């Protein structure tokens, strides 16, 4: 197998209580990539779980930090140093409140938007890595943010999530080849049906 060119990180919190929550969409994404790319078995290393996969001739590593979100950088930093990679070779998939569900935005560097996982990674490897923002929508009220991100997706969300994961995996080679704009446009062209907006609770 060729040497990996990238470290793809999915952010989330470990344990069954958090498995299908919005905050864990990064974990769910790399799980989907691992399955579709027939990755190697997950190994416990670098305070996380790591696997190797290949898509369209591009070999890469998948990492799920098991430190809890606010210490994710410890795991990413250890893996990066072990594989002698640069921060520019890191792609981090994470939840984003400011994007509607089904939307994906990718950029290199920039701020952390108050995301604790990104804050930790910034502290350990700097800010020049790639961020793949996965929209989870905003509850509309700042006081409801914590409950929103830590609450599980509904059964009806599974359809658009699967469509999103399929699109990300299909077009991931573009991102690995440095074609971030093409990666985003291909996903946008998929026209994933967003979830129905939830009305106010009685």
Which residues form the catalytic set? 23
SS3 per residue for 125-159: HCCCCEEEEEECCCCCCHHHHHHHHHCECCCCHHH
Task: Judge whether 31 and 112 are in contact, CB under 8 Å.
Answer: no
SS3 per residue for 84-138: CCCHHHEEEEEEECCCCCCCEEEEECCCCCCCHHHHHHHHHHCCCCEEEEEECCC
Q: Which of 86, 41, 37 is nearest to 58 (CA)?
A: 37
The token pair at 3 is 């040497």
DSSP β-ladder status, 48-55 and 58-65: antiparallel
């Amino acid at each position: 197998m060729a040497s990996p060119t990238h470290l793809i990180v999915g952010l989330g919190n470990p344990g069954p209580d958090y498995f299908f929550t919005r905050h864990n969409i990064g974990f769910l994404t790399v799980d989907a990539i691992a399955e579709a790319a027939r990755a190697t078995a997950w190994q416990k290393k670098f305070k996380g779980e790591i696997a190797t996969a290949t898509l369209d001739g591009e070999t890469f590593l998948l990492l799920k930090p098991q430190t809890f979100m606010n210490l994710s950088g410890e795991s990413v930093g250890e893996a990066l140093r072990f594989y002698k990679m640069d921060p520019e070779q890191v792609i981090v998939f994470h939840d984003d409140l400011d994007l509607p569900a089904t939307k994906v935005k990718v950029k290199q560097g920039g701020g952390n938007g108050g995301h604790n996982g990104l804050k930790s990674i910034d502290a350990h490897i700097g800010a020049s890595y790639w961020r793949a923002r996965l929209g989870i929508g905003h509850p509309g009220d700042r006081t409801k943010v914590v409950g929103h991100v830590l609450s599980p997706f509904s059964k009806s969300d599974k359809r658009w999530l699967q469509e999103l994961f399929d699109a990300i995996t299909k077009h991931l080679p573009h991102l690995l080849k440095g074609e971030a704009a093409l990666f985003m446009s291909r996903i946008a062209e998929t026209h994933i049906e967003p979830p129905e907006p939830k009305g106010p609770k009685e």
